[in-house]
Amino acid sequence: MSQAELPRLTVIGTGYLGATHAICMASLGYDVVGLDVDDRKIQKLRSGEVPFFEPGLPELLAKTLESGRLRFTTSYAEAAEHGDVHFICVGTPQQPGLDACDLSYVEAAVRGLAPHLTRRCLVAGKSTVPVGTAPHLLGLLRELAPAGVEVELAWNPEFLREGFAVDDTLRPDRLVFGVTSEWARERLTAAFRPILDLGTPTVVTDLATAELVKMAANSFLATKISYINAMAEVCEATGADVRDLAQALAYDDRIGGRFLQPGLGFGGGCLPKDIRAFAHRAEEIGVGQAVSFLREVDAINRRRRSRTIDLVRELLGGRLDGARIACLGAAFKPNSDDIRDAPALDVARTMHGLGATVRVYDPAALDNARRMYPELRYGTSAMDVARDADVVVLLTEWAEFRQIDPTVLAQVVRRTRIVDGRHALDADVWRSAGWEYRALGRP
Ligand code: UDX
């Protein structure tokens, strides 16, 4: 397909998902306009700065800006004028105090774009939404767009992982096209041509299935993590070792070892809110029982956080107040600065609330953590926060924490006691260096 035949793309919402999608599609040769209502974000992107931590993305942004194929705007009129295919990539966070997700950003994006759509085009939703959202959005589009029925809607869920976002976007393990016409399918095919040419498996389906795929995938992953963490609870009661158990399960290739790492459990902007929104939506449509296990998956995951604090308390002889605790990690997972529903910060804040002096270090998420939780203390390195600590708690498994030399760390702490919340360290090495080592689900 020549450059002239490539559809022109817009990406609405330039957060983790949208910025990555816009930059990656421009790097594949598409002419892309990225839109956000947050002017500061747009200014940053225009000047070549990625507003969040994502390996490889700043380099790709620089390259694509230079190519002239990528522009950023806050104007819906400009986006509508440019795009043949408009990708909706705005967030769908959990509603405060509720399990349902907040669709107001998706709706605002459609309401912002639609009045400027004056010619035939495809709007493709990428945001994670409850099943049944698309027909409502299509109704809005057709009601508000001057082009009326010429505007079509497709659903194209996105499965990228933070920390691997560029690779997951350029070389996804599958594409899902939820469409209602051959034309929409053809448009999406044209919009992903270079990725399809890699032989990427593609599922073409209806809108409802496409909406469901993402919720189903994230629910499965969350369930797998909570499954192994439930086994950790059984191990704790029996003196068994969940690490060996997980390893033995992983050799069964029907089970597989991925997402079977026991520990502090899952967090982030997706898994926790998606399983809650899914359970909520299922209840609304009368099939709550079918996914009621997701409530248990959530409960197991929450217990990991309190059990981790129990381990710290045990090491401290029963009391947290007055103790000096070094927390290694704040991000919800390594290679990210994202602290949304981060288990690490949840644990740190709870221990602070219980009267401990908590000092936190994270290689990437410190600015975000400081802004959100100014009540905690922060340090400049693992060594720095560990100084005079009564206990060290590893909460996010960054590579640099795995590489810590226990004999060196032993020189700065007050007591050589460590809770490995992520099963990231070699227990034998730490114990032989004189540390009291504890991890969930291990003797
Ligand atoms: C997830 C999905 O993987 C992705 O497909 C979707 O598009 C968005 O949500 P992400 O939130 O970036 O991606 O993180 P992921 O790498 O999936 O990890 C989720 C959480 O599970 C992290 O908190 C991680 O620490 C935890 N986890 C993961 C475990 O506790 N154990 C594991 O074995 C794997």
What digits encode the pLDDT tens for the residues 289-323? 999 999 999 999 999 999 999 999 999 999 999 99
Give the mean pLDDT of 69-88: 98
Q: How confident is the model at residue 151 (pLDDT cuts 50, 70, 90)?
A: very high
**Is 2 inside any structural domain?**
no
**Is 215 inside any structural domain?**
no
Q: Which residues are CB-contacts of 432 (< 8 A; sequence separation ≥ 6)?
A: none
Give the mean pLDDT of 424-429: 97
Examine the domain organization and report whether 378 and 434 are in the same domain.
yes
The domain boundary, picked from 205, 230, 254, lies at 205
At 395, phi and psi to the nearest 5? -115, -20
CA atoms within 13 A on the CB side of 104: 5
Give the mean pLDDT of 248-274: 97
Q: What is the DSSP string of 156-204?
A: ----PPTTSHHHHHHS-S-EEEE-SSHHHHHHHHHHTHHHHTTT--EEE
Examine the domain organization and report whether 258 and 402 are in the same domain.
yes
Does position 158 have pLDDT exceeding 70, yes or no? yes
* Tens digit of each residue's pLDDT (9 = 90 or more) over 184-227: 999 999 999 999 999 999 999 999 999 999 999 999 999 999 99
**Is 443 inside any structural domain?**
no
The 3-state DSSP composition of the chain as helix, strand, coil percent (nearest 5) reads 45, 15, 40
Examine the domain organization and report whether 143 and 263 are in the same domain.
no
Is the torsion defined by CA of 222, 225, 231, 232 positive or negative?
Answer: negative
At 86, phi and psi to the nearest 5? -110, 115
In whole angstroms, what is the distance from residue 66 CA to residue 84 CA? 23
**Is 385 inside any structural domain?**
yes
In whole angstroms, what is the distance from residue 31 CA to residue 82 CA? 9
Q: Residue 116: which CATH number?
A: 3.40.50.720
**Is 211 inside any structural domain?**
no
Q: Tell me, what's the pLDDT at 5?
A: 80
Q: How confident is the model at residue 3 (pLDDT cuts 50, 70, 90)?
A: low
Among the listed residues 110, 119, 106, the one whose alpha carbon sits nearest the alpha carbon of residue 8? 119
Examine the domain organization and report whether 198 and 224 are in the same domain.
no
Examine the domain organization and report whether 226 and 181 are in the same domain.
no
Does position 355 have pLDDT exceeding 80, yes or no? yes
Q: Tell me, what's the pLDDT at 206?
A: 98
**Is 52 inside any structural domain?**
yes
Examine the domain organization and report whether 130 and 249 are in the same domain.
no
Examine the domain organization and report whether 308 and 420 are in the same domain.
yes
Is the torsion defined by CA of 215, 279, 220, 92 positive or negative?
Answer: positive
**Is 214 inside any structural domain?**
no
Q: Are 132 and 212 in contact (CB under 8 A)?
A: no
Within 6 Å (CB) of ligand 1, which residues are found? 158-162, 218, 221, 225, 259-261, 263, 265-268, 270-271, 332-333
Q: Which residues are CB-contacts of 26 (< 8 A; sequence separation ≥ 6)?
A: 32, 64, 67, 69, 70
Does position 147 have pLDDT exceeding 70, yes or no? yes
Does position 4 have pLDDT exceeding 90, yes or no? no
Q: Which residues are CB-contacts of 44 (< 8 A; sequence separation ≥ 6)?
A: 50, 51
Let me know if 270 is a catalytic residue. Answer: yes
Give the mutation target among 333, 339, 401 for probing the ligand 1 site: most ligand atoms within 8 A of CB: 333
How close are the terminal C-alpha atoms of the chain, in Å?
Answer: 60
In whole angstroms, what is the distance from residue 238 CA to residue 86 CA? 55
Chain position carrying tokens 């997951």: 168
Q: Which of 101, 121, 235, 270 is catalytic?
A: 270
Examine the domain organization and report whether 293 and 340 are in the same domain.
yes
In whole angstroms, what is the distance from residue 382 CA to residue 322 CA? 21
Model's pTM, two decimal places?
0.96
Q: How confident is the model at residue 90 (pLDDT cuts 50, 70, 90)?
A: very high
**Is 212 inside any structural domain?**
no
CA distances from 84 to 7, 42, 119, 197 (A): 6, 21, 9, 21
CA atoms within 13 A on the CB side of 233: 16
Examine the domain organization and report whether 184 and 233 are in the same domain.
no
Give the mutation target among 101, 176, 270, 420 for probing the ligand 1 site: most ligand atoms within 8 A of CB: 270
Report which protein residue has its CA nearest ligand 1's atom 33: 259
How much distance in Å is there from the Cα of 269 to the middle of ligand 1? 9
| DSSP-derived secondary structure letter, 9 | E
Q: What would you measure as the largest C-alpha separation in the chain, in angstroms?
A: 72
How much distance in Å is there from the Cα of 273 to the middle of ligand 1? 12
How much distance in Å is there from the Cα of 434 to the middle of ligand 1? 33
Q: Are 113 and 77 in contact (CB under 8 A)?
A: no
Examine the domain organization and report whether 155 and 129 are in the same domain.
yes
* Tens digit of each residue's pLDDT (9 = 90 or more) over 360-404: 999 999 999 999 999 999 999 999 999 999 999 999 999 999 999
How much distance in Å is there from the Cα of 217 to the middle of ligand 1? 11
Which residue type sits at 302?
R
The domain boundary, picked from 181, 205, 229, lies at 205
Q: Are 305 and 338 in contact (CB under 8 A)?
A: no
* Tens digit of each residue's pLDDT (9 = 90 or more) over 40-76: 999 999 999 999 999 999 999 999 999 999 999 999 9
Examine the domain organization and report whether 195 and 229 are in the same domain.
no
The domain boundary, picked from 151, 182, 205, lies at 205
CA distances from 50 to 18, 22, 23, 160, 351 (A): 12, 12, 10, 17, 33
- Percent pLDDT > 90 in the chain is 99
Q: Tell me, what's the pLDDT at 1?
A: 59
- Number of structural domains (the chain) is 2
Q: Are 398 and 426 in contact (CB under 8 A)?
A: no
Examine the domain organization and report whether 160 and 295 are in the same domain.
no
In whole angstroms, what is the distance from residue 75 CA to residue 83 CA? 13
Torsion angle of C-alpha atoms 313, 314, 317, 321, degrees rounded to 10 = 0
* Tens digit of each residue's pLDDT (9 = 90 or more) over 110-130: 999 999 999 999 999 999 999
**Mean pLDDT taken over the chain:** 97
Q: Which domain holds residue 246?
A: 220-438
Closest ligand 1 atom number to CA of residue 258:
33
